[in-house]
Structure 1
Amino acid sequence: MKCPFCNAADTKVIDSRPAESSIRRRRQCEVCGKRFTTYEKVETIPLMVVKKNDVREPYDRSKLEDGILRACHKRPIPVDTINAMIDDIENQILGREEKEIATSVIGEIVMEHLRQLDDVAYVRFASVYREFKDVETFLREIEKLAKKK
């Protein structure tokens, strides 16, 4: 690591600490003696999401969060539970070690988690994800839920 003050290549690590998604290193230049901080971040292969119309875009956690939060809106579900579920879903998605994942796969994973968490949130999400067109579609989905209970 080059010293930002004198450009000497001879530096030593004084202290290392984990930061949020990186490692913070405190370094000291062996030539000029000045100290500076560096951050090391693990480089990952970006996950691409394949939409229904075959458009590919980078995975975005905020879109996952938005959809789940909308489904859980005004439901008696603690925020910590929702965040833990989002983390679990994201770990499941990223743990597949694939470079691309279809939105249909993500949707099914989310629906399975919501089905276990809250029936109303599940039906809300399913209605948007599966594009329910009429009341009969809602009723069929609710009947499926009732039979499983």
Structure 2
Amino acid sequence: MRCPNCNSLDTQVKDSRPTEDSSVIRRRRVCVACNFRFTTFERVQLRELTVIKRNGRRVPFDRDKLMRSVQISLRKRQVEPERVEKMVSTIVRELETGGEAEISSEVIGETVMEHLRTLDDVAYVRFASVYRNFREAKDFADVLGELSGEEEARLAAIRK
């Protein structure tokens, strides 16, 4: 592992431990050359995924980019980071086990929206506004109507 401080390739693992859900290994490392300490995370990757963008361009799937976009939609929302991490891990696992090595950005976007809808309504609307490229207030009203319709159906089912 290359040291982020001095770029030396001579580093040592000082401590390894799994995260709470055991899906990631956290490693504390130290650079032999400059004594800089840093942390790395190791997770299982079932397959290499390629994203097919709307313009047809193909790029490698980037879990961190997915996490950043979800975090942006959740900005200033009271959602525990562990729940966000678990949701992103679930999305990635779904994409990896979906059978296809190439996935359209539309499939990824819809999958994220599906999960955000159950996590936080405001984040869902924020993400949808960017993903679906909202142009006017009516677009927001349509999504809010979908959400309120689902809520009414859920309440009606509870009342029965």
Q: Tell me if TM exceeds 0.5.
A: yes
AA of the residue aligned to 2:90: D
**Equivalent-residue separation in structure 2 for 1:145 and 1:104 (angstroms):** 20
Identity, in percent, stands at 40
**Structure 1 residue runs of 4 or more that deviate by more than 6 Å after TM superposition:** none
**Equivalent-residue separation in structure 1 for 2:45 and 2:118 (angstroms):** 34
Match of 2:147 in 1: 145
Aligned ranges for residues 86-125 of structure 1 at < 5 Å?
Answer: 86-125=88-127
Could you tell me how far 1:73 is from its partner in structure 2?
A: 0.7
Q: Flag structure 1 segments of 5+ consecutive residues without an equivalent.
A: 1-17, 22-41
Match of 1:60 in 2: 62
- List per-residue Cα deviations over 1:17-51 (Å, max 9, x = no partner): x9967xxxxxxxxxxxxxxxxxxxx8965211000
**Equivalent-residue separation in structure 1 for 2:99 and 2:63 (angstroms):** 17
**Equivalent-residue separation in structure 2 for 1:115 and 1:73 (angstroms):** 15
**Equivalent-residue separation in structure 2 for 1:76 and 1:69 (angstroms):** 11
Aligned ranges for residues 15-30 of structure 1 at < 5 Å?
Answer: none
1:70 aligns with 2:68: no
**Equivalent-residue separation in structure 2 for 1:94 and 1:43 (angstroms):** 8
1:49 aligns with 2:57: no
Could you tell me how far 1:143 is from its partner in structure 2?
A: 1.1
**Equivalent-residue separation in structure 2 for 1:72 and 1:43 (angstroms):** 25
Q: How many residues align?
A: 113
- List per-residue Cα deviations over 1:71-106 (Å, max 9, x = no partner): 011101000000000000010011113110000000
Answer whether contact 2:49 2:61 (CA < 8 A) is retained. yes
Match of 1:79 in 2: 81
Q: What TM-score comes out, normalization by structure 2 length?
A: 0.65
AA of the residue aligned to 1:95: T
Change (3 A) 1:134 1:88: same
Q: What TM-score comes out, normalization by structure 1 length?
A: 0.70
Match of 1:34 in 2: none
Q: Flag structure 2 segments of 5+ consecutive residues without an equivalent.
A: 1-16, 19-23, 26-43, 152-160
